[in-house]
Chains A and B, each alone.
Chain A
Amino acid sequence: MKNFIIVFTLLFTIQTYSQFDDLNSKFLLAQSYEQMGDLQKARILFEEVYFIQKDNFQFFESLNRVYLKLKLFNESIQIIQNRLSIFPNDITSIGLLGVTYYQAGKEEETFKLWNDALKEQPTNLIYYRILANYALELRLFDKAIDILQKGKANTAEARIFSYDLAHLYSLTMRFKEAAEEYIEIINFDPNQIIVIQSRILSYINKPEALVPTIQVFQKSNFKENSGLGHLLAALYVENNQFVEAFELLKLLDKKFSLNGQEVFQFATRMSGLNQYRLASNSFEYLLSEYPYSNMISNFRLNYAKNLEAELNYEFIKNNPTWKDFFTYTVFNKEKYNSVIENYKKIISTYQHSEIAIESILRIGEIYLNRLGNLEEAEKYFSEVIQKFSMSRYFVAAALNQIDIFIKKNNVEQASALISRLEINPIISSEDRNRIILYKAKINFYNGAFSEAKKYLDIISQQTQDKISNDAIELSLLISTSIVDSISLAKFARAEFEMEKENFASAQKLFEELTGLNQLFILSSKSELRVVQCLIAVNNYSSAIEKIELSLQDSNKRFLENQKNIFSDHLQFLLGQIYQNGLVDFPKAIRAYEDLMIYFPNSLFIDKVRDEILKLKKIS
């Protein structure tokens, strides 16, 4: 008997195992057929295995999938209903049945089936989530939202639904509702702020997303919740509502003792966006609220730099930067002095530090470029040069100082400083070219033309650097005019007067050089320079007269090589005078159009096209 039992058990096990193995092989074969696209063969095999083991979910699910692919909806309904008769509360089967109904065009049955299931288990979180997923699979977003809303209302885990709902709302462009859900999450768990901010910012640039989101956040308790406030400030910045953002950040900073961190980030961002006033106000706030912060030196320097940047913006706006040469008008002297005072405080507080050296350099640059006080400027540049030769601000100070030496015709000192700079290992290639150009200019102004040309030719080869154009032009002028070195020397003197902004004396010298037929490049350039001198001193009527005479005269000359080679430049300046000097737009347009007609290959063509289009828009 014992032996019989052993043999029977063994046979039964082998039989069962072999049946299982057979089913498994068929199932795998059916899957292969399905992947190959032979759905009919797959269906036959799946049916075989399914009818042997109806309670096997894998067999059931695979067969149902193939039925749907073959659009055999009745068969699908039948096997799902069979399964439901075995497992009546199986929410997966309920979901699948709904899918089949929907694909068979029975949308109402789907919704009724799912709604009934939810009514049966109103507090079952899993029911809501599974059915919402099936709705999403069918691309039924509204239905999925409806199910999730019910889940949120009826279960104890509202937050889980809020995330899904917010995501669905943003996908379906219901940004107001999305924001409301996100606010709910933040109120419940403030630690979610980073995740939610990244989610909101990922869609906030979509059309009609930003304003409704801001409106929802404005109605929230953002003053009580720093996360919400932080997010609202970020939204204000996205919407260019910088002032609102600043006010809110100050409020949050005080209320939640944030140590100025967010205001600092805001200030830095404003500086990057050229919102200098707001940036300086922000740094001013930080200076007054956190005088003992370990970043105080950074606050001070940035405060001063942003004050200066704002003044520089106004300076450029109020000076005639359209001119090739001009003497700038000093604006906001008092305000610049106040900026200087701020830099001086930094210098005295943080002596010998890099921010102090930067402050010294900046004071020098203000005196040189904004207040026109060369002596004062020199004091500051020389301080950097003499005391801080290892600083990264040394090169900039030295270059500014060389500029001043050249203007003062102090050749020896300029040359000495140039020699010192040349051996500086940290100098950039652009600054090195600038030094070579200084050397060329010094030689040119002093009549050493061959030497000057040697340096100019070095820079001329550096075509990636913009100053190579200036070098090429001056080199050409020297080559073509060297035969008459007296005239060339006069021209050099005139150029030097221009450099020193002595426009009247420069004009006089240039006028003496016009009309030299044998030196037509020098003569043409001098005609151009005369006009530039007149423009520099706002003598527009004389400048126009000179341009018109020059152009008429040039047109009379039959041979191309006898014409003023800068005629197109003169024609362009005529347009510029009418446009910016006399604000007579029709005449400016006419002048530019003439340039297009008579000088179609001019380098000014693109610029002129833009100007005409701009002026026509204004007109």
Chain B
Amino acid sequence: MKILLFIFFSFFNLFGQAKIFVPMDLTQTDHLKAYGVAFRALDQGLKVDWLLNYKSGSFMIDYADKLTLEMRLEGVSFSLLDQADVIQIYSTVQSEENNMEVIRLEKSPKIAVYVPPGFQPWDDAVTLVLDYAKIPYDKIWNEEILLGNLSKYDWLHLHHEDFTGQYGKFYASFSNAQWYIEQQIRYETNAKKLNFRKVSEMKREVAVRIKEFVGQGGFLFAMCSATDSYDIALAAVNTDICAQVFDGDAADPDAQEKLDFTNTLAFHNFKLEMNPFIYEFSDIDIQPLEVGNQENDYFTLFDFSAKFDPVPTMLTQSHASVIKGFMGQTTMFRKNLIKSSVIILGERPNTQQVKYIHGNFGRGTFTFYGGHDPEDYQHAVGDPPTDLSLFKNSPGYRLILNNILFPAAKKKEQKT
């Protein structure tokens, strides 16, 4: 009898009020802002269900007047559901016959973005989309990380950063540019202030601290050059890979042999590019010639089992399974250099080119996404930032936002 009453009240509680349904398929008018709405609903204590693979990863949120007004203001399409609709959706999603799952989101994650103070002549796709979706985040830099402030955050984003201390290897093209000169001085001053003799030593220590953050349960998301340069910095923890133009002395002639691949998160067996005049860190990155024509540059998302592999399923929720590619300092990753423990989320089929990967380290996870700006194929230094109001339905940007909400998911017992 007690069990029956419990089921009755649970049932009543679950479906006792109308819900807001936010479709994420092609009917959605602004996919990017929909994530912001879900994020703020969590902040307001509302229950948010992420319906994986149901209408391309839709959201079902407790009804609140304020939220519907906000959605109207933001131009996010939604509909109101009565109890019968809600029951219908839950039963469809939870049916064993459908590759769908309900993920209850619990609490909005606290986000930090690793970004240098001051102007940078490139733009960060993640801060652009966070600002557009009005998702709050803190900017942190070396000092905060070295002081141990990462523990205050759930999610850390790294973008167009160079963890090897080679200033993005822009030396050949930009060593005489004012921004490059100023950036180098700013970084050197920062390193000296934090008692490091070289920028590369400071960056290496920052990389190690970030790895500790992941090991202790943090979520790391990196794009563009922050992906491979991060792993290279971890591998080069015992050697100097920077040429004189970067740190005032020569690189270790045996640096390649001294790399320790057991330290890295995602890549191994890569070969360093130590020529300061070549705009590349290693052979991890896929070169433009290998990518070929822009017209043919698309990558495909893997279709995971929502019930058995909810994490990769969350990270690949999209209204398009084939997404147009985009270049970056690091555009894609070479498949044979990716560790076997890493899950490939998106790639160019039948090639060595991998765009989007995910893995675990310790109690945390990391996700690496190649390329610079999903809606600007070749975003060059000094180009104006992308106006996301023109790309409200960008599947490439949507993948970034999947990563923001995924840490909010209530942990379920793994079925595999």
A contact residues vs B (CB 8 Å cutoff)? 37, 39, 68-71, 102-103, 137-139, 141, 171-173, 202-203, 206-207, 593, 596-597, 600, 605, 609, 612-613
Chain B residue contacts of A206, Cβ below 8 A: 182
B276 at the interface (CB under 8 A from A): no
- Shortest Cβ distance from B181 into chain A, in angstroms? 6
With A70-B253, A103-B248 already in contact, the answer to whether A596 and B185 are too (CB < 8 A) is: no
With A139-B188, A593-B69, A597-B72 already in contact, the answer to whether A207 and B250 are too (CB < 8 A) is: no
Cβ of A171 and Cβ of B182 under 8 Å apart?
yes
B168 at the interface (CB under 8 A from A): no
Chain A residue contacts of B189, Cβ below 8 A: 172
Please give me the residue from chain A that is nearest to B182 by CB atom: A171
Query: How far, in angstroms, from A69 to B178 measured CA to CA in the complex?
Result: 28
Given A68-B249, A70-B253, A596-B73; 6 other pairs, CB 8 A cutoff: A37-B253, A69-B244, A71-B252, A172-B189, A605-B75, A609-B74
Please give me the residue from chain B that is nearest to A206 by CB atom: B182
Cβ of A202 and Cβ of B178 under 8 Å apart?
yes
- Shortest Cβ distance from B290 into chain A, in angstroms? 24
B contact residues vs A (CB 8 Å cutoff)? 69, 72-75, 118, 178, 181-182, 184-185, 188-189, 244, 247-250, 252-253
Which residue from B75, B185, B247, B252 sits with its C-beta under 8 Å from A172?
B185
With A39-B253, A171-B181, A202-B178 already in contact, the answer to whether A137 and B73 are too (CB < 8 A) is: no
Cβ of A609 and Cβ of B248 under 8 Å apart?
no
Query: How far, in angstroms, from A207 to B189 measured CA to CA in the complex?
Result: 16
- Shortest Cβ distance from B274 into chain A, in angstroms? 8
Please give me the residue from chain B that is nearest to A107 by CB atom: B197
- Shortest Cβ distance from A4 into chain B, in angstroms? 53
- Shortest Cβ distance from B176 into chain A, in angstroms? 13
- Shortest Cβ distance from A195 into chain B, in angstroms? 16
Please give me the residue from chain A that is nearest to B197 by CB atom: A105
Please give me the residue from chain B that is nearest to A597 by CB atom: B72
Which residue from A141, A597, A605, A613 sits with its C-beta under 8 Å from B185?
A141
Query: How far, in angstroms, from A138 to B248 measured CA to CA in the complex?
Result: 5
Query: How far, in angstroms, from A596 to B29 measured CA to CA in the complex?
Result: 14
Please give me the residue from chain A that is nearest to B199 by CB atom: A139
Chain A residue contacts of B118, Cβ below 8 A: 207
Cβ of B249 and Cβ of A609 under 8 Å apart?
no
With A593-B72, A605-B75, A612-B73 already in contact, the answer to whether A137 and B252 are too (CB < 8 A) is: no
Cβ of A609 and Cβ of B250 under 8 Å apart?
no
Which residue from B182, B188, B250 sits with its C-beta under 8 Å from A68?
B250
Please give me the residue from chain B that is nearest to A593 by CB atom: B69
Chief secondary structure at chain B's binding surface: helix
Cβ of A69 and Cβ of B250 under 8 Å apart?
yes
Chain B residue contacts of A103, Cβ below 8 A: 248-249
Query: How far, in angstroms, from A141 to B181 measured CA to CA in the complex?
Result: 12
Cβ of B72 and Cβ of A600 under 8 Å apart?
yes
With A171-B181, A171-B182, A171-B185 already in contact, the answer to whether A137 and B248 are too (CB < 8 A) is: yes
Cβ of B178 and Cβ of A613 under 8 Å apart?
no
Query: How far, in angstroms, from A205 to B69 measured CA to CA in the complex?
Result: 41
Please give me the residue from chain B that is nearest to A171 by CB atom: B185
Query: How far, in angstroms, from A596 to B77 measured CA to CA in the complex?
Result: 11
Chain A residue contacts of B185, Cβ below 8 A: 141, 171-173
Which residue from A71, A139, A597, A613 sits with its C-beta under 8 Å from B250?
A71
Please give me the residue from chain B that is nearest to A605 by CB atom: B75
Chain A residue contacts of B252, Cβ below 8 A: 71
Cβ of A139 and Cβ of B73 under 8 Å apart?
no
Please give me the residue from chain B that is nearest to A168 by CB atom: B185
Chain B residue contacts of A69, Cβ below 8 A: 244, 250, 253
- Shortest Cβ distance from B34 into chain A, in angstroms? 15
- Shortest Cβ distance from A39 into chain B, in angstroms? 5
- Shortest Cβ distance from A194 into chain B, in angstroms? 19
Chain B residue contacts of A137, Cβ below 8 A: 248
- Shortest Cβ distance from A496 into chain B, in angstroms? 39
Query: How far, in angstroms, from A484 to B75 measured CA to CA in the complex?
Result: 41
Please give me the residue from chain B that is nearest to A616 by CB atom: B73
- Shortest Cβ distance from A63 into chain B, in angstroms? 14
Please give me the residue from chain A that is nearest to B74 by CB atom: A609
Chain B residue contacts of A37, Cβ below 8 A: 253
Query: How far, in angstroms, from A609 to B75 measured CA to CA in the complex?
Result: 9
30 sample A-B contacts, Cβ–Cβ < 8 Å, listed by A number: A37-B253, A39-B253, A68-B244, A68-B249, A70-B250, A70-B253, A71-B249, A71-B252, A71-B253, A102-B248, A103-B248, A103-B249, A137-B248, A139-B184, A139-B247, A139-B248, A141-B188, A171-B185, A172-B189, A173-B185, A202-B178, A593-B69, A596-B69, A596-B72, A596-B73, A597-B72, A600-B72, A605-B75, A609-B73, A612-B73
